[in-house]
Structure 1
Amino acid sequence: MTRYVGSKWRKTVAIRKQAYLARFVPETARLTKASLRRQLAAYRMVYVKPEFGMHGNGVMRVEKLSAGFRYQMGNTIRKFNTYDGLYRGIAAATNRKPYLVQKGIHLLKHNGRFFDIRVMAQSPARGKWMTTGMIGRVAAKRKIVTNFHNGGQILPAERLLRPYTGQLNAKLALLSKLGVLAGRRMSAAFPGVRVIGLDVAIDRSLKPWLLEVNTSPDPYIFRKHPDPRVFRRIMRIAKTYS
């Protein structure tokens, strides 16, 4: 059985210890009044997300406006005149559970909706990692998270990225490399991890950003991959550790 690691903070710390991967990790900190203020001053838009949680539940997009602040969680948008008011509102919404604040990445869009890429990497044998699939996730209308369980749409990564780059194969190769390196780093930090789902944002300059590492990723979204061999390969390797 593959090991599950729930804390997004512990996983982020582990990934940042690998020098190559660290350059692709957005600034991330535990949520405090000071850390949120600092990141909003630096980036104007950040994401606040629960340290423990799945399917994008509880994630907030927080913005510093020309006058005041606002956050969106689900379909709820709230505006505040002062930073103190914003923080009180966020503290109430999080019910004071442990949260993280992360530099906001302005995602590419498909038909006006944000998308990111899920990279699946698996370990068929001790010490060996391979990227076994990539799929795109498109946010539902007016949603800030791309998760399928939050109404997101699953589309081929190639279809989503092709309009933005003439070097599609090179971009896919980089994503594949990041999946393997992240898998190796996670299994080194947390022995027993045999599979990861790497959530990768692509910004407007086409740089990939590692938003999150999942150690119990849903393989069934790959049923929607246009090549049925991808899903069969993922499930075949999953049998070696489940």
Structure 2
Amino acid sequence: MPRYVASKWRKTAVLLGSAPLAGHVPDTAKMTAAALQDRLNRYGMVYVKPDRGMHGNGVMRVERAGDGYRYQAGKRIRRFARFGALYGSLKARTRGRRYLVQKGIHLLEYDGRKFDLRVMAQLSPSKKWETTGIIGRVAAKNKIVTNFHGGGKIVTAETLLRAHAAQPAAKLQALAKLGAQAGAAMQRAFPGVSVIGLDIALDRALRPYILEVNTAPDPYIFRKHPDPRVFRKIMRYARANAKR
């Protein structure tokens, strides 16, 4: 069976150690009061996420808001006049688990809702890393996470990029290359990894940022891809890797 790596921190460290990938990783640190305050001062908005977790569970968006602070978890927004009160509330929610703080990337929007892209990369039967699918995920209304399991909507990457990129095909080709490079880096660090799902955010300049690497990505969202050959190929590669 393909290897699963749970820790986001360990996977982020691998990306940062790869020259082609490091520039696509938002500033990320283990969450402490000092790390959070420093990045809020620098970026204005950050995401706080559990080191181990799936489907966007536990992810919070934290922002400076005028003279105070606020954070959103799910659809609820809480506001604080002082940093100490903000941090105390966040620590209560984290319940002693390790959390990370990551520079916030302002996601592009589709029909007024934020979206990101899932890039699926797999080890091919000939043992070369290949991006086998790219699909878009649009957040549910008033939510900060785009995950399908959290109410997000699946939309083709081509449709999403067409509204923002002059040459969407070239952008998709660049993302496919990024997926294969990230897969190879993960396999070198964690032998046995044969599939990854990259969560990619594009900023307003269309620069891709790797928000997260999943080593057990859900292939079934690609059933919604309009080209059935994409899902069939993903499953064919998955079966081949399960036999290794």
Is it true that 1:136 corresponds to 2:136 in the alignment?
yes
Matching residue of 1:115: 115
Mapped partners of 2:192, 2:127: distance in 1: 11
How many residues of Structure 1 are paired with residues of Structure 2 in the alignment? 242
Aligned to 1:161: 161
How big is the alpha-carbon RMSD for the aligned residues of Structure 1 and Structure 2? 0.8
C-alpha distance in structure 1 between counterparts of 2:186 and 2:46, whole Å: 25
Counterpart position of 2:150: 150
Q: Secondary structure at the match of 1:240?
A: helix
Task: Report the 3-state secondary structure (helix = DSSP H, G, I; strand = E; otherwise coil) of the residue aligned with 2:241.
Answer: coil
Contact 1:49 1:100 in 2 (8 A): yes
CA contact (8 A) 1:116 1:138 kept: yes
* Cα pair 1:127 1:184 within 8 Å, conserved: no
Runs of 4+ in 1 over 3 A off after TM superposition: none
- Quick one: percent identity of the two aligned structures? 61
TM-score for the superposition, normalised by structure 1:
0.99
Whichever residue aligns with residue 177 of structure 1, its letter is: K
User: Which string of whole-angstrom CA distances, capped at 9 and with x for unpartnered residues, describes residues 31-90 of structure 1?
Assistant: 000000010000000000000000000000000111200000001110000000000010
- For structure 2, which runs of at least 5 residues remain unmatched after alignment? none
Q: Which 5+ residue runs of structure 1 have no aligned equivalent?
A: none
- After superposition, give the CA deviation of every residue in 1:189-213 in whole Å (9 maximum; x if it has no partner): 0000000000000011111100000
- Structure 2-normalised TM-score? 0.98
More displaced 10-residue stretch of structure 1: 122-131 or 144-153:
122-131
Contact 2:110 2:138 in 1 (8 A): yes
Q: Is residue 200 from structure 1 mapped to residue 203 from structure 2 by the alignment?
A: no
Distance 1:235 1:127, change over 3 A: closer
The AA in structure 1 aligned to 2:148 is F
Indicate the residue corresponding to 2:218 in structure 1.
Answer: 218
1:170 Cα deviation from its structure 2 partner: 1.2
The residue that corresponds to 2:58 in the other structure is: 58
Q: Give the drift of 1:124.
A: 2.0
